[in-house]
Structure 1
Amino acid sequence: MSITLNALLEQRSLHLSLVVEGAPGSLDTPISWVHSSESIDPTPYLEGGELLLLTGLLMPERDPGEDFRLYVDRLAHCGIRGIGFGVGVHHAAIPEWLVRQCEASDVPLFSVPLEVSFIAITKMISRGIADDKQQGFARLYRNQQQLLRSVHTLDPVSTIVSKTAELIGGWVALLNPAGTVTESSHRFLPIEMSALGDALTFSVLGEAKFVAMRGYDIAAFHIASPAGQTLGYLVAGYRGEKGTLDHPLVAQAAALLSLAISSSADASRALGRLRAAMMRQCLEGGAELVRPYASDLWDGMPAEPLTVLRVTGEQEALETAQRLFEPFRKSLAKNMNPAVFGMIESDLWVVVSQSNAAEWVEGLLRDSRVIVGQSSGCIWRDLPRARHEAYQAASEAMTSGVQSLRYGQREGAGSLENMVEPSKMRAFADLKLAPISSLIFNLAVGPHGGRGDGGKATVQPDDWTEPDGMSLHAVDVLRTWLECRGKAEEVARTLGIHRHTVTKYMAQIGKALSVDLSDPQTVAELWFACKFTRFPEKN
């Protein structure tokens, strides 16, 4: 630890006596050096942080006079750490006016007995400073060794970032050349990177900038490759005033990152391709072939029963989501069972234990740019079926406008209307019902009109309109018939016509469509057609 006035006072061999304690905390403030001077104004020879030793050779006993009226005040403004007064040389005791001035200026004051030489105090402080520097060098060496070991991990970039934050006792973020955070020691950083402004604008390769913001001492380093290409920016912060952050350690981390980023990018691409191939093998039912390599690729395989997740969205969002499962990073993965994952055809596929699938999904859904489809429970050999379920669930989530959906979670999951793109369904419906799109039944004739023509249907011109309540569009009749499950009496009550008329209308509709209305497949197709058709546009 740095040499302080408290440490000096604790040295029994010096027999020092504290007279004025000074400002709170001043006794524990590190001393930069010690200086002896009997000058009326020694401030020109001080830089701040020193301990001043004197015997009061030129000082009056009682009245400080004009020469010494602002003596301590000048020293306080200079940043003196304290005053040591040697008694028994020129003064039997410390002058009262000096004590009062130290109390008024909050400057520590202590007495040095006659038998203790100033050189003894000087040597003590000198040894303390030397020990502090030696400890600092040793600490820096240990920290540097830990950083160097980070280069040899499976994910050196992420490890360097997290290890640097641990060693400085603060936070660290790695930004890409566009200024986006790609790695960080904490999920939420106390400072928005966009707020740093000019601190992230560099004109020289490898430049460093230091700022204080919101109670943090912040250092920003420009990271460049040996060829002079900008690789990104390293930003580190430590709570405290400017200068409290361990800048040399952060500088070394920036240097190591400049070497690790390029090689790590190549390794990450190779690892990603291998994971994708093995993930595909698992989803096709070959999990046992993958198991021998799982500890190297994902740090193991999750325990059964399992859940398959299909994560889709923007490419950048998927890359962020993939980092959530990375077992070698400080993330949710550290506290969960292993997850098998890989990118396949622009989607992120993940196999997790069903017991903590909800926690994984919760972590994914913090990013609104992704959509997650979940399968039902399965075992390893049943993964092909679960893959199909996860694919359907994600597709339905996209169609339904929700961010996450579990297969079979709600009514209609996996149904045709949720799986087929709406415009295609409308096109199918319009084509299916085109033969009856202009077919209108005239209620002014037939059994209810008294003209005995059986309510014959007529095809009217496009600009024809019928008085309200005097006609029925064939599509509406078909839709009502389907909703009533083909029960003529129920259709008749709904439409307000005779059941025999319903039978005749349906016979004409079946003939116009050239279909058998007793065929279940035909009925199903007509149901979706009536649901999505734009007909009738006119009644």
Structure 2
Amino acid sequence: MAVAEDPTLRALLGRRDLGLSLVSREDELPDGSLDRALRWVHSSDLADPTPFLSEDLALLTTGTQFDDAVDVDTYVGRLADRGVLGLGFGSEVHRAGIPDELVTACAANGMPLFEVPYRTPFIAVARAHSEAIAAQAYARRSWALDTQRALALAALRPRGLDATIAELGRRLDAWAGMFDAAGALLVSHPRDAVETHALDELGERVIDILTRGLEAGQSLTLEDHTFMLFTVGRGGHLRGVIALEVDVLDSEARSVVTSVIAMAGLALEQNEQLARSRRRLHAQLLGSLLADDPGLARRVLGGLPPAPVVVAVAADAPAGPLTDWWERQRSDHGTPFFVAETEDGITMCVSSDDEPLLDEVASRFGVRIGISDPEGYDAFARAHAQALTVLRQRAEHGAVRYSDTVGSSILTALATDEARLVAESRLAPLREHDARTGAELERTLRTWLEHDARAEPASAALGVHRHTLRSRIAQAGDLLGGDLSSFPARAELWTLLQTARD
């Protein structure tokens, strides 16, 4: 079992050789008071032994302290506040029987009271409990060694990682699961012990843990399930999470889990080496696709997503988890895909029918993705260029399609950082004048051009006289160093206004 089964007061009372008997009525005691883990048994006749006591122990006394006018109720209250789990009274040593006021005080404070017969020395009670602790520790160590052997044998099976996680669940008598870096559940045991919606939420938490690079074990409660989560992999290269449906693990169980984490880390590291080799291969195959020749990629991979396809490029995306996510789509739904890692980002190619999955990728991984128009493989390079164009124009997270950006204006595609710098420099005299005088020359120009350079509708939109409008345009022309009466000058001005930042 995963949780340590420490000896309890109930177990101590059950030892026939000691002859202990419970004086308190169990139905009047707090629930579970006899079944809490008992750390030790101590004896003392001090009027106030609490400074020398630790929590979760049983105290034995002969009652000599009560001869000194010690308030029994205060005495028992101090023991309860200190966390003493039970009070044993040695009868016929100093007193005949147990004082009634002690029985009443223990009942009032919820303190289990038991009698230690004259024939049973206090040292025998303490020794019996010490032996029980030693026997329990030996049993846990034996369990840990046996479990380690079983896990080692499981790791040698054909699907070693799956078998190891399943064996861990059986040995802990708890649900155990392994999530990959994309938050997908790879294996679990027992398979249907946790509801699907709880597993989905657990997968989201796994992604959050791995994204933030948290390595320490965490405890998580989802509805009526409590899980402990352990990351797998070395710092900066976390590859998954092992989840256990347990509240707590003792030292032996934790050592077993630690060994499984090491096994899983080694297995995933080997898988990662294979994945890196595959990524290098795919990067080389992308070169042939960018030559609009899919022949080599088809021969090496055995197939590609059916045309027409969309090409997408994701910036700042985690290559390993993203590839794992696509592999999960292929195994679960038969989705064909091609992924390659380049300096520009992660290039993804899917059939146009599967294009909505790219929105899910952007949302799940919180990345920017540019998506091309549907194309055949003979236009793969153009589709890739479209995806890169969109990506370079997009600053926020999310998926954006090339068709959405080119539908607005050609100026959007030309609005590079260099173009914005030039536009802002050309408009600087105008903007400085407006800031200094409070004039609205830039707004006047923009409104005038939006009304096809016609004075009447532009002046009406601005709420000024047409002569005022013409005066402002002339003044703006002087500041910009150009004659705004010609179409080329107006076209250039419109481009400057559209390109510069507001």
Give the structure-2-normalised TM-score.
Answer: 0.52
Post-superposition shift, 1:326?
A: 1.9
SS at match of 1:3: coil
Q: 1:23 to 1:359 in 2, by over 3 A?
A: farther
Tell me if the contact between 1:327 and 1:338 (Cα under 8 Å) persists in the aligned partners.
no
After superposition, the C-alpha distances for 1:197-240 in whole angstroms (9 at most, x for unaligned) are xxx9xxxxxxxx9999xxx9x9999x99xxxxx98999999998
Tell me if the contact between 1:306 and 1:377 (Cα under 8 Å) persists in the aligned partners.
yes
Q: In structure 2, which of residues 272, 282, 294 is the aligned counterpart of residue 285 of structure 1?
A: 294
Q: Which amino acid aligns with 2:103?
A: V
After superposition, the C-alpha distances for 1:171-193 in whole angstroms (9 at most, x for unaligned) are 9999xxxxxxxxx9712349988
Tell me if the contact between 1:327 and 1:334 (Cα under 8 Å) persists in the aligned partners.
no
SS at match of 1:391: helix
Tell me if the contact between 1:19 and 1:111 (Cα under 8 Å) persists in the aligned partners.
no
SS at match of 2:147: helix
User: What CA distance in whole angstroms lies between the structure 1 residues aligned with 2:420 and 2:21?
Assistant: 94
Q: 1:348 to 1:232 in 2, by over 3 A?
A: closer
Tell me if the contact between 2:314 and 2:346 (Cα under 8 Å) persists in the aligned partners.
yes
Q: In structure 2, which of residues 14, 22, 25 is the aligned counterpart of residue 17 of structure 1?
A: 22
After superposition, the C-alpha distances for 1:29-66 in whole angstroms (9 at most, x for unaligned) are 21123345566666687544322345x36365xx7723
Indicate whether 1:311 and 2:331 are aligned.
no
Q: 1:6 to 1:416 in 2, by over 3 A?
A: same
Indicate whether 1:58 and 2:64 are aligned.
yes
Matching residue of 2:34: 27
Q: In structure 2, which of residues 328, 352, 359 is the aligned counterpart of residue 361 of structure 1?
A: 359
Matching residue of 2:132: 127
User: What CA distance in whole angstroms lies between the structure 2 residues aligned with 1:110 and 1:98?
Assistant: 11
Tell me if the contact between 1:9 and 1:18 (Cα under 8 Å) persists in the aligned partners.
no
Tell me if the contact between 2:91 and 2:115 (Cα under 8 Å) persists in the aligned partners.
yes
Q: In structure 1, which of residues 156, 163, 187 is the aligned counterpart of residue 207 of structure 2?
A: 187
SS at match of 2:284: helix
Q: Which amino acid aligns with 1:289?
A: R
Q: 1:401 to 1:70 in 2, by over 3 A?
A: closer
Matching residue of 1:276: 283
Post-superposition shift, 1:348?
A: 0.8
SS at match of 1:395: helix
Q: 1:140 to 1:88 in 2, by over 3 A?
A: same
Indicate whether 1:385 and 2:379 are aligned.
yes
Unaligned runs of 5+ in 2: 182-203, 220-225, 423-473, 498-502
Q: Which amino acid aligns with 1:291?
A: L
Post-superposition shift, 1:395?
A: 0.9
Indicate whether 1:108 and 2:112 are aligned.
yes
Post-superposition shift, 1:95?
A: 1.9
Q: Which amino acid aligns with 1:130?
A: A
Post-superposition shift, 1:357?
A: 4.0
Q: 1:101 to 1:392 in 2, by over 3 A?
A: same
Post-superposition shift, 1:343?
A: 0.8
User: What CA distance in whole angstroms lies between the structure 2 residues aligned with 1:173 and 1:64?
Assistant: 68
After superposition, the C-alpha distances for 1:471-525 in whole angstroms (9 at most, x for unaligned) are 9945379x9xxxxxxxxxxxxxxxxxxxxxxxxxxxxxxxxxxxxxxxxxxxxxx
User: What CA distance in whole angstroms lies between the structure 2 residues aligned with 1:172 and 1:303?
Assistant: 27
Post-superposition shift, 1:82?
A: 1.4
User: What CA distance in whole angstroms lies between the structure 1 residues aligned with 2:75 and 2:13?
Assistant: 24
Matching residue of 1:475: 487
Greater displacement, 27-36 / 237-246: 237-246
User: What CA distance in whole angstroms lies between the structure 1 residues aligned with 2:35 and 2:330?
Assistant: 43
Indicate whether 1:325 and 2:323 are aligned.
yes
Q: In structure 2, which of residues 340, 343, 350 is the aligned counterpart of residue 342 of structure 1?
A: 340
Matches within 5 A, 1:131-530: 131=136, 133-135=138-140, 138-139=143-144, 142=147, 186-189=206-209, 248=255, 269-280=276-287, 284-286=293-295, 287-291=297-301, 307-313=309-315, 317-318=316-317, 320=318, 322-326=320-324, 337=335, 339-352=337-350, 357-365=355-363, 370-376=367-373, 382-385=376-379, 388-396=382-390, 398-399=392-393, 403-409=398-404, 412=407, 419-420=413-414, 473-475=485-487
User: What CA distance in whole angstroms lies between the structure 2 residues aligned with 1:420 and 1:41?
Assistant: 85
User: What CA distance in whole angstroms lies between the structure 2 residues aligned with 1:185 and 1:472?
Assistant: 60
Post-superposition shift, 1:344?
A: 2.8
SS at match of 2:294: coil
Tell me if the contact between 1:341 and 1:348 (Cα under 8 Å) persists in the aligned partners.
yes
Post-superposition shift, 1:249?
A: 6.1
SS at match of 1:326: helix
Q: 1:533 to 1:404 in 2, by over 3 A?
A: same
Q: Which amino acid aligns with 2:299?
A: L
Post-superposition shift, 1:323?
A: 2.0
SS at match of 1:30: coil
After superposition, the C-alpha distances for 1:273-306 in whole angstroms (9 at most, x for unaligned) are 13323455567413432335xxxxxxxx897577
Q: Which amino acid aligns with 2:64?
A: L
Post-superposition shift, 1:405?
A: 2.4
Matching residue of 1:455: none
Matching residue of 1:204: none
Matching residue of 1:81: 85
User: What CA distance in whole angstroms lies between the structure 2 residues aligned with 1:365 and 1:140?
Assistant: 45
Tell me if the contact between 2:40 and 2:126 (Cα under 8 Å) persists in the aligned partners.
no
User: What CA distance in whole angstroms lies between the structure 2 residues aligned with 1:140 and 1:383?
Assistant: 58
Tell me if the contact between 2:58 and 2:88 (Cα under 8 Å) persists in the aligned partners.
yes
Q: 1:140 to 1:261 in 2, by over 3 A?
A: same
Greater displacement, 383-392 / 254-263: 254-263
Q: 1:279 to 1:103 in 2, by over 3 A?
A: farther
SS at match of 1:273: helix
SS at match of 1:84: strand
Larger Cα Rg: Structure 1 or Structure 2?
1
SS at match of 2:407: coil
User: What CA distance in whole angstroms lies between the structure 2 residues aligned with 1:281 and 1:82?
Assistant: 79
Q: 1:472 to 1:135 in 2, by over 3 A?
A: closer
User: What CA distance in whole angstroms lies between the structure 2 residues aligned with 1:84 and 1:191?
Assistant: 54
User: What CA distance in whole angstroms lies between the structure 2 residues aligned with 1:290 and 1:125?
Assistant: 68
Post-superposition shift, 1:268?
A: 5.8
SS at match of 1:398: helix
Tell me if the contact between 1:279 and 1:340 (Cα under 8 Å) persists in the aligned partners.
no
Post-superposition shift, 1:142?
A: 3.5
Unaligned runs of 5+ in 1: 175-183, 195-199, 201-208, 225-229, 293-300, 428-461, 480-527, 535-539
User: What CA distance in whole angstroms lies between the structure 1 residues aligned with 2:326 and 2:134?
Assistant: 41
Indicate whether 1:3 and 2:10 are aligned.
no
Give the structure-1-normalised TM-score.
Answer: 0.49
